[in-house]
Amino acid sequence: MIPLSVLDLSVVTTGTKPAAALRNSIDLARHVDGLGYVRYWLAEHHNLASVASPAPDVMIGQIAAVTKHIRVGSGGVMLPNHAPLVVAERFKMLEALFPGRIDLGLGRAPGTDGATAYALRSRLDRREGDDFLERLHELILWETREFPAGHPYNSVVAMPDDTRLPPIWLLGSSDYSSELAAQVGMGFAFAHHFASHDAIDAMVHYRNRFQPSAWRAAPHAILAVALIAADTDEEAERLASSFDLNRLRRDRGQYLPLPSVEEAMAYPYTDAERTSILRNRSRLFVGSPATVQKKLQPLIYASKPDELMVITAVYDHEARKKSYSLLAEAFGLGRTSGLSD
C-alpha cells in the first residue's frame, strides 16, 4: 500500500479562531502520528483569514516536540519571502533538535497578495522578476560551502555547523518545479489540490528526467490531494459542502474562514455557481473509504507517486480526525509504512 502523509493549512473556520486552529494542528499531528502516517507538512500563507499559520518553521518545532515517529516539515517555505541564510539556520536548528525527522519543502510563489509580499520582502535584497532559482542556489551553497574564492560569504557559517540541512523538496503545481527537481536531484511534491497543470504529466516528467545527486540517489514523488472521507458517501458529501462554498468564494478572491455545513447547505446557489462547484470537484475526492479509494486509484496508477499527501479541510475538527482515521484503515497504515526521508 502507498504511504500516506498530511498537508495541514491550519484552517480557520467561522467557529474556530486562528489560535484554536493552531492548537488543532498540534492535536491532529498527534492523532496521525499514532495512525502510521509518515509525514506532516505545514504550509506558509500570509494575510489570509482562512489560514492561521504564516510560519511553518515555528509549527514544525511545536509538532515535532509532541510526536514520536512522523517526519515534520514545510509544505512549504516560500523561499522568495526569506533570506536563504535564515532558512538554512532555522532548518539546521530543527534538524539538530529532531534529527532524521525534518523536511524542508520549498515553494516559489509568495503565498499571499502583492502588497503583503512587498511587506515581507521590502527589507530583503530584491531582484527583478522571479529570483527563486537564485535563492535556491544560495541556500544550497550554505550547505556545500562552495562559494567562489574571495566571496564575502566564505567567512559566514550557517549554525549549527555540525548539522546538515534536512532533505529538500521542491513543491509545484506546474511543470517548472518538476523539471527543476529532476535536474538538481531533489524530492518533488505536486499540488493536485489546486493545480491546473496535469498531475500525471508533472509526476512522470519528474521521474523520467531525474538526475541522481548528493541530495537524493533516486526520485521520490509526492502527490498532494484534497480528500474528505466519512462513514458513508452521504455524510462525506455533507461535510464537503463547506469546501464547495469556500472554494467558490476563493475563486472570487474572497479568502474567508471555512463556513459551517449549515451555512453551506443554506446558501442560495445559482446554476452557474453549481456548475463551478462541479468543476472544482475534479480536485477533491469525497466519499466513504471504499469510494475515495476507487476514485483515487486511476490517478495513483497513472502518476505512480511514491507517497500520497492528503489535505482534509472540514468544519468540524473531530470529523477531520475521523477522515484521516478512516483513510489510514482503508490503506492499511502501520509502523511498517514509515519512510527514512
Measure the N-to-C terminal CA separation of the chain; round to a whole number of Å.
Answer: 18
Does the residue 339 lie in any domain?
A: no
Entry pTM: 0.94
Does the residue 261 lie in any domain?
A: no
pLDDT of residue 125: 64
User: What percent of the chain clears pLDDT 90, i.e. is strictly above it?
Assistant: 85
pLDDT of residue 109: 78
- Over the stretch 286-309, which tens digit does the pLDDT of each residue have? 999 999 999 999 999 999 999 999
Does the residue 166 lie in any domain?
A: yes
Quick one: which H or E segment has residue 97?
Answer: helix 84-97
Residue 208 is which amino acid?
A: N
Does the residue 274 lie in any domain?
A: no
Structural domain tally of the chain? 1
- Over the stretch 154-163, which tens digit does the pLDDT of each residue have? 999 999 999 9
pLDDT of residue 93: 98
Integer-rounded Cα Rg, in Å, for the chain is: 20
Q: Which domain holds residue 172?
A: 4-233+283-331
Q: Is the pLDDT of residue 135 over 70?
A: yes
- CATH (domain of 22): 3.20.20.30
Does the residue 160 lie in any domain?
A: yes
Does the residue 272 lie in any domain?
A: no
Phi, psi of 51 (to 5 degrees): -130, 125
Which string of b and e fits 112-145 if b means at least 16 CB within 10 Å?
beeebbeebbeeeeeeeeebbeebbebbbbbeee
Quick one: pLDDT band at residue 228, thresholds 50, 70, 90?
Answer: very high
Taking Cα atoms as reference points, which of 55, 54, 72 lies closest to residue 63? 72
The number of beta carbons lying within 10 Å of the beta carbon of residue 271 is: 7
**Residue 129 region, left (φ>0) first, then alpha (ψ -120 to 50), else beta?**
left
Does the residue 241 lie in any domain?
A: no
Does the residue 187 lie in any domain?
A: yes
